[in-house]
Structure 1
Amino acid sequence: MGELMQVLGRIERGSDGDETVAVVFDRHYATTPEDLWQACTDPDRLARWFAPVSGDLRPGGRFTIHFDDADTPQCRVLTCKAPTRLVWEWPVGGVASVVTAEVAADGEGARLLLRHERLTSAQVAGYAAGWDTYVRRLEADVAGNALPDWGDTWSALHALYAAAR
């Protein structure tokens, strides 16, 4: 990674006494809102930039994310309001973390607001680096470009997020 990498997301800490943390990404993509929604919900598209996903992506449905490292979280859809909002529970360390993906028109393109909450301070750097890598891979995918290498990108970003924790 020759260029100096900068984080794309932000870490939000809970109010006093609340130990949960969220990572938030607010990104513009040079595509239509419909295409961005499809990229975030269609299993074939998800497999290209995120990970293979199997199951039911409807409200109350359950689905599994199949990561390369044998991590296979069993998730549950809380809300699906196509083509604008998908909310699901993702079990992380015995806690039901919550991921919200919102898609909207944004000028000539589309905007994705992605929020993963109910993480702990110990977990946040890894998940922030992961989502940061994924939003970069999504950007490359919708543009038809080569996807950034997962391992190199995640490692560089993890160090930056860990320092910001």
Structure 2
Amino acid sequence: MIDIVTQINDIRREVGSGRLGGSEARSVILRRRYDAEIEDVWDACTNAERIPRWFLPVSGDLRLGGKYQLEGNAGGEIVKCEPPRLLRVTWVFGELPPSEVEVRLSAGAGGDTTDFELEHIAIVDPEHWVQFGPGAVGVGWDLTLLGLGLHLRGGGIDNPGEWLQSPEAKAFMTRSSDAWRVAHEASGADPTEAAAMAQRTLAVYTGDPSAN
């Protein structure tokens, strides 16, 4: 069993804005501390043999300037790589405009923990934002950080596809969606609108229309 409350509370979330390619963009930032040395966290995030154990199968040339493809998901180019502290990639999913994901690591006091920070910045269609808000990508990244944390502890989810349909996964996604609602409100969003976006996002992730 996963301690869902602890896993959700271990992540600090921020909703922001910026510029990408000269255009206005929106960002989500997730921060979490892992009980693992920075070199281990870096290796887990960049080693093609380890990435599928907590995220998705990956192919491509995993080096600076190389291109990657996550099976059934996004692909792109590795545009910045400074081991073991900084990784930035372009993130191309379907027909959506290219976005960017940056992972920043720093060693905690004593060297046996790592502060992990992930920022996803994207040009978002206004209608899509009004419909779903930051949870559209935020919930997915919460799930990803959960997988990484379990992997770094020597565990994992045996059958991720099956687990995503389980009551435990739906409970996690429910709390995740609500946590992004809170972060959205903290960024200045109207509480009623933020709550409606979170509910619509949850309905998509869980496949449960009643969540809408």
Provide the secondary structure at the position in 2 that maps to 1:94: coil
**Contact 1:59–1:77 (Cα < 8 Å) also in 2:** yes
**Which residue does 1:98 correspond to in 2?**
100
- Deviation of 1:61 (Å): 0.8
Could you say if the C-alpha distance between residues 136 and 2 of structure 1 is closer, same or farther in structure 2, counting changes exceeding 3 Å? Answer: closer
Deviation at 1:49, TM superposition (A): 0.7
1:22 paired residue among 2, 27, 42: 27
Check conservation: 1:88, 1:99, Cα contact below 8 A. yes
**Other structure's SS at 1:35 match:** helix
Paired with 1:83 and 1:4, the residues of 2 have a C-alpha distance of: 30
Pick from 114, 122, 142 the counterpart of residue 118 of structure 1.
122
Structure 2 residue ranges without an equivalent (≥5) = 185-193, 195-212
Decide whether the 8 Å contact of 1:57 with 1:63 is kept in 2: yes
Q: Identify the residue that residue 35 of structure 1 maps to in structure 2.
A: 40
Structure (1/2) with the larger strand percentage: 1
Distance in 2 separating the partners of 1:72 and 1:27: 23
Deviation at 1:24, TM superposition (A): 0.9
Provide the residue aligned with 1:77 in structure 2. Answer: 78
* Unaligned stretches of 5+ residues in structure 1: none
Q: Measure, in 1, the Cα distance between the counterparts of 2:137 and 2:25.
A: 13
Aligned residues: 159
- Could you say which structure has the greater relative contact order, defined with CA pairs below 8 angstroms and 6 or more residues apart? 1
TM-score (norm 1): 0.81
The alpha-carbon distance between structure 1 residues 156 and 19, as it changes in their structure 2 partners (threshold 3 A), is farther
Q: Secondary structure at the match of 2:45?
A: helix
When Rg is computed on C-alpha atoms for both structures, the one with the higher figure is: 2
Q: What TM-score do the two structures reach when normalised by structure 2? A: 0.65
CA contact 1:13–1:19 (8 Å) conserved in 2: no
Cα deviation for residue 10 of structure 1 reads 1.8
Distance in 1 (CA, whole Å) between partners of 2:4 and 2:176 is: 16
Q: Is the 8 A contact 2:14 2:30 kept in 1?
A: no
Please state which structure has a larger fraction of its residues in helix: 2
How much is the aligned-residue C-alpha RMSD, in angstroms? 2.7
- Identical positions, percent: 25
